[in-house]
């Protein structure tokens, strides 16, 4: 019965939200970026992908499969195939060196993946997804590769996924080699270095699907007259300042660079031809709210950042939760779900201006309260049974 054995490994992987943004590829096939980027890994208690990788000689031959949140997902795309190929060839090399090992690399793979948050929220689920995929298969194959080495593979699936191989504060070094072998994730600081970092996510419903980030960033590279300045000067400067801010745990600097870099990224989108607009009037109200909170607090206690969509991520430190969460809770507390139990207890004198508050009320559909967290975690929670069947949930 050994040939029917199902081999399994399960991992969870986190979402990351960049504070220096990835936007633009210098090589679309290898997912090599035009610039380095830096992100905060968010806690998996609030946002995570759980992926079970399994393989078995008993699975239908030649049919790798991926079930994503209960729906079959296409695995024939070039990016997914690049990940499968890279992981299999690493396993094959180990098997060649030690013929006593089971020939897992020859078996079909069955991956099952689930997010603990709605995909519709427009959060960067592909980063967590590809990180979990690569980490789970690497564990299944017992690969000796480090997270940085695995990040090279995850990067080919989805660029920003490489940063989700680590917890804490993570850089994606753009690298300079043509084959992309130096374009990988690099731990700037563990979560434990600055564990007080929190994030309040304002989920904003987009009126309609915007431009995909893959096609959007290539339009920016091709058409924006301002973008080359972002690549050549703005991001390198922001990377240096951000690493310093994290090393020194200097929130005011962290916040300023985060906000400036988000502005620079969305300015590059607006300078694309035709222009790409990810932020809407609700997003802009969130910017004004953060500015008001900082002004009223008399120092920088909050930073906004926006990815390729209208959602606002507000970074703040635990000690300033009353001012930051309290200000938003006053406006949105009874309007939307997602608040943690302690949110209602915060009191603040800060009052957001009425047009800002009204716009937030009409446009924010839920909130997520989270903070900096750890990298992928091995788990014995499986989405595939020992017999290779889907776990009923």
Residues 204-243 that bind a second copy (CB under 8 A): 207-208, 224-226, 228-230, 233-234, 237
Q: Which of 271, 336, 379, 388 binds a second copy (CB under 8 A)?
A: 271
Token reading at 62: 């030649």
3-class DSSP assignment, residue 229: helix
**Mode of pairing for the β-strands spanning 48-55 and 7-14:** antiparallel
Please report how close the Cβ of residue 315 comes to a second copy at its closest, in angstroms: 16
3-class DSSP assignment, residue 333: coil
Residue closer to a second copy by CB (options 72, 225) is 225
Residue closer to a second copy by CB (options 6, 290) is 290
Please report how close the Cβ of residue 229 comes to a second copy at its closest, in angstroms: 4
Please report how close the Cβ of residue 381 comes to a second copy at its closest, in angstroms: 41
Q: Which of 268, 300, 305, 348 binds a second copy (CB under 8 A)?
A: 268
Cross-sheet strand order for the sheet of 65-68? 71-73, 65-68, 109-115, 48-55, 7-14, 377-379
348 to 38, 202, 351: CA distances (angstroms): 32, 19, 8
Number of Cβ atoms within 10 Å of the Cβ of 390: 13
Q: Is 187 in the site for a second copy (CB under 8 A)?
A: no
Q: Is 291 in the site for a second copy (CB under 8 A)?
A: yes
Q: Is 25 in the site for a second copy (CB under 8 A)?
A: no
- With vertex at residue 242, the alpha carbon angle to CA 238 and CA 244, rounded to the nearest 5 degrees, is 120
- Distance from C-alpha of 119 to C-alpha of 106, rounded to nearest angstrom: 32
The residues, ordered by sequence, that sit 6+ positions from 34 with a Cβ below 8 Å of its Cβ are: 23, 24, 25, 26, 174, 221, 231
Cα dihedral value 13, 18, 24, 28, nearest 10:
-10
Q: 365 — phi, psi (to 5°)?
A: -100, -25
Please report how close the Cβ of residue 36 comes to a second copy at its closest, in angstroms: 16
3-class DSSP assignment, residue 74: coil
Q: Is 293 in contact with 317 (CB distance < 8 Å)?
A: no
Please report how close the Cβ of residue 144 comes to a second copy at its closest, in angstroms: 42
Q: Is 305 in the site for a second copy (CB under 8 A)?
A: no
Residue closer to a second copy by CB (options 275, 345) is 275
Only one residue has tokens 């929220």, namely: 121
Q: Is 1 in the site for a second copy (CB under 8 A)?
A: no
Only one residue has tokens 């090589």, namely: 27
Please report how close the Cβ of residue 260 comes to a second copy at its closest, in angstroms: 5
Q: Is 298 in the site for a second copy (CB under 8 A)?
A: no
Please report how close the Cβ of residue 75 comes to a second copy at its closest, in angstroms: 34
String marking each residue 341-380 x if it binds a second copy according to CB under 8 A: --------------x---x---------------------
Residue closer to a second copy by CB (options 260, 340) is 260
Residue closer to a second copy by CB (options 141, 306) is 306
Q: Which of 8, 21, 198, 266 binds a second copy (CB under 8 A)?
A: 266
- Distance from C-alpha of 379 to C-alpha of 135, rounded to nearest angstrom: 12
Which parts of 98-206 fold into alpha helices (H)?
125-140, 147-157
Residue closer to a second copy by CB (options 235, 323) is 235
Q: Is 280 in the site for a second copy (CB under 8 A)?
A: yes
Closest alpha carbon to 377 in 189, 109, 198, 166: 166
3-class DSSP assignment, residue 16: strand
Residue closer to a second copy by CB (options 215, 229) is 229
Residue closer to a second copy by CB (options 55, 276) is 276
Residue closer to a second copy by CB (options 149, 271) is 271
Residue closer to a second copy by CB (options 56, 264) is 264
Q: Which stretch binds a second copy (CB under 8 A): 34-42, 100-108, 260-268, 326-334?
A: 260-268
Q: Is 27 in contact with 148 (CB distance < 8 Å)?
A: no
Q: Is 110 in contact with 61 (CB distance < 8 Å)?
A: no
Query: Interface with a second copy by CB under 8 A: which residues?
Result: 207-208, 224-226, 228-230, 233-234, 237, 256, 259-260, 263-264, 266-268, 270-275, 277, 280-281, 284, 287, 291, 355, 359
């Amino acid at each position: 019965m050994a040939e029917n054995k199902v081999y399994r490994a399960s991992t969870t992987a986190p979402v990351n939200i960049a504070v220096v943004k990835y936007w633009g590829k210098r090589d679309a096939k290898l997912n090599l970026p035009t610039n380095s980027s830096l992100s905060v890994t968010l806690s998996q208690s609030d946002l995570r992908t759980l992926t079970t990788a399994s393989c078995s000689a008993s699975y239908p031959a030649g049919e790798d499969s991926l079930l994503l949140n209960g729906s079959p997902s296409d695995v024939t795309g070039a990016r997914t195939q690049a990940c499968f190929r890279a992981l299999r060839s690493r396993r094959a090399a180990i098997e060649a060196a030690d013929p006593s090992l089971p020939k897992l690399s020859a078996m079909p793979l069955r991956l099952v993946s689930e997010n603990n948050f709605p995909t519709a929220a427009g959060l960067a689920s592909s980063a967590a997804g590809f990180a979990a995929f690569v980490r789970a298969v690497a564990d299944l194959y017992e690969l000796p590769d480090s997270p940085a080495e695995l990040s090279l593979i995850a990067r080919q699936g989805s660029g920003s996924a490489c940063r989700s191989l680590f917890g804490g504060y993570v850089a994606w070094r753009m690298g300079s080699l043509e084959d992309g072998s130096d374009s990988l994730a690099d731990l700037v600081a563990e979560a434990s270095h600055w564990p007080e970092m929190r994030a309040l996510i304002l989920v904003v419903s987009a009126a309609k699907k915007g431009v995909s980030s893959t096609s959007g960033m290539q339009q920016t590279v091709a058409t924006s007259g301002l973008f080359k300045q972002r690549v050549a000067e703005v991001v390198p400067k922001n990377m240096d300042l951000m690493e310093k801010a994290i090393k020194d745990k200097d929130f005011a600097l962290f916040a300023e660079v985060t906000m400036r870099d988000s502005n620079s990224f969305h300015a590059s989108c607006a300078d694309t031809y035709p222009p790409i607009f990810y932020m809407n009037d609700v997003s802009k109200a969130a910017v004004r709210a953060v500015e008001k909170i900082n002004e009223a607090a008399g120092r920088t206690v909050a930073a906004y950042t926006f990815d390729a969509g209208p959602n606002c991520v507000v970074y703040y430190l635990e000690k300033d939760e009353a001012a930051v969460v309290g200000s938003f809770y006053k406006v949105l507390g009874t309007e939307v779900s997602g608040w943690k139990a302690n949110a209602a207890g915060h009191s603040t004198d800060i009052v957001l201006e009425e047009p800002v508050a009204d716009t937030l009320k009409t446009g924010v559909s839920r909130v997520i309260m989270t903070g900096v967290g750890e990298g992928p975690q091995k788990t014995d929670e499986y989405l595939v049974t020992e017999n290779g069947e889907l776990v009923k949930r």
